[in-house]
Structure 1
């Protein structure tokens, strides 16, 4: 884990401890807006960067911020339990990224009944819950299209691609893979396999190893996030295959792998900005200000041409 990622991780852990020790409803800072942020996990670099952005905005605006998240993205029940516990603490606003949105409908409707503003980041909600203030996030389908288009440029018609999806029911990951598939299908690229890897590096390694046994002529991999891409990359290298692999998120580990020539690229989300905007829009909602229902935080394809610039930019953010 790089220095920036470790710093973000320490922030996330400190905030989690603060939530358990003090409770969101602590009277010691009653004059400050109390914000709760619940993410899909705190263990992945992508989410640690979201936390860093949120922390910057909270400090700048004088808000109390507590961040919670389960150890892995597929710990859905644990995440929902966290949301229920936070509801009992009655924060002034909730900033939330649901691991499996349908499972969160019931508890989020309770937030609406309690008149607690809900800000969604990274992942939206189904029609069962529409009383959120805003959804801040990447157009995941478009991000996947960008990754798929990048592979189309280096593949030929008939080549086989492995698609690595997230946990079943994770719409952000599914949208990314669907977007990539749309561009690959249009170019005559064959989908050799599409498998869930649960946003996890080790699972992606195992899945890719298994796919290579049945489909050894895989010519490229598109993964819904960088942990999956890095796991696939390791499996490919162990099997003596040097093929382009593209992920999503542009985590520091992925950027270093891109610079080393091991990964072909990654589609970067503006996850730091998601954290900043999540806090800013939560505070605006608390004040009764108008907030756009949908805010696109943007995405960009990262290759060896611009990976170092992104690393430098992140280093500047932590000075």
Structure 2
């Protein structure tokens, strides 16, 4: 009788334990479900537009500013933009390769620095066939194959640089323009013509351009130093890249010619602005890079949303001197 009672008690305890476990599991499930509902992260809807920006050199302060401007607009307009392109230490140096990859990725739109290579033209033609609009930045190569251009007016830039040649060098002498040796750009001829127009009232100012063909077998640095030492009329060096600006500045300093030769630069960097403060570089023409990025992204999104955009969008230029830098600190 005692064994039977023990068996019944065991069965009752087993059933009670089962129901207790079942009820505890139910409570845990409710708590977990409630926690999941409270802590659930809503990823939201995917961005409507995907843009790719191709910079001439994405690790430069200028292109980082252009990208920052594009990000500002995209963050407000249901769009995402990514920056790709060659960097100083990249294996691929040419933007046309990145343009080809961007077209293959089929984004909604491409904002790109486009050089004058045949490969770039082919990539633009493929983009047009696939219905991918392209807005060119800075260099207006192949205008028939892009939707819009966003950048500076090369004529306005040349006119401004020509005015600085007179301001910094006076009404006589020789100004040497260092063209970008990395690529030949159709827009440079417009800029050079504008420089000549700006100094046309001063017939004793002579403007010549240094390009790759002028150097023969000499390096760029050697040729520049040769011109500095052997051209007594040279009183202005006009640089179109940050790299050439630093090269010319160092040559002028090392040859002890900073009191004779004025340097005018297009594009600023921290090092260049330090030289401006010291009075070694007389003036820098700077592009509003962030404005360029904003206007480019805005033009692309306008086209994607409405089917229309301006063909030519101009960004601002401003001149930086030692005086303007001093005023900005006050």
TM-score normalised by structure 2 residue count? 0.74
Which secondary structure state, in structure 2, belongs to the residue aligned with residue 292 of structure 1?
coil
1:295 Cα deviation (Å)? 0.9
1:245 Cα deviation (Å)? 0.7
Gaps of 5+ in 2: 1-43, 214-218
Structure 2 Cα separation of the partners of residues 181 and 154 of structure 1: 16
- Write the mapping of 1:1-319 to structure 2, written as runs, cut at 5 A: 30-71=46-87, 78-100=94-116, 102-126=118-142, 129-167=143-181, 168-184=183-199, 186-187=201-202, 188-191=204-207, 194-196=210-212, 205-242=221-258, 243-307=261-325
1:175 Cα deviation (Å)? 4.0
Which secondary structure state, in structure 2, belongs to the residue aligned with residue 306 of structure 1?
helix
Structure 2 Cα separation of the partners of residues 309 and 280 of structure 1: 32
Tell me if the contact between 1:50 and 1:271 (Cα under 8 Å) persists in the aligned partners: yes
Tell me if the contact between 1:97 and 1:123 (Cα under 8 Å) persists in the aligned partners: yes
Distance 1:190 1:260, change over 3 A: same
Tell me if the contact between 2:69 and 2:291 (Cα under 8 Å) persists in the aligned partners: yes
Distance 1:219 1:190, change over 3 A: same
Indicate the structure whose relative CO is greater, using CA pairs within 8 Å and at least 6 residues apart.
1
1:108 Cα deviation (Å)? 0.5
| Structure whose CA Rg is larger | 2
Partner of 2:22: none
Farther-moved stretch of structure 1 (173-182 vs 229-238): 173-182
Which secondary structure state, in structure 1, belongs to the residue aligned with residue 57 of structure 2?
coil
1:54 Cα deviation (Å)? 1.7
Distance 1:110 1:94, change over 3 A: same
Distance 1:174 1:256, change over 3 A: farther
1:182 Cα deviation (Å)? 3.6
1:144 Cα deviation (Å)? 2.0
Partner of 1:315: none
1:64 Cα deviation (Å)? 1.7
1:258 Cα deviation (Å)? 1.4
Tell me if the contact between 2:87 and 2:93 (Cα under 8 Å) persists in the aligned partners: no
Partner of 2:35: none
What is the count of residue pairs matched by the alignment?
Answer: 279
Distance 1:221 1:191, change over 3 A: same
1:206 Cα deviation (Å)? 4.5
Tell me if the contact between 2:165 and 2:175 (Cα under 8 Å) persists in the aligned partners: no
Farther-moved stretch of structure 1 (281-290 vs 116-125): 281-290
| Backbone CA RMSD of aligned residues | 3.1
Tell me if the contact between 1:205 and 1:234 (Cα under 8 Å) persists in the aligned partners: no
Structure 1 Cα separation of the partners of residues 223 and 45 of structure 2: 48
1:72 Cα deviation (Å)? 5.4
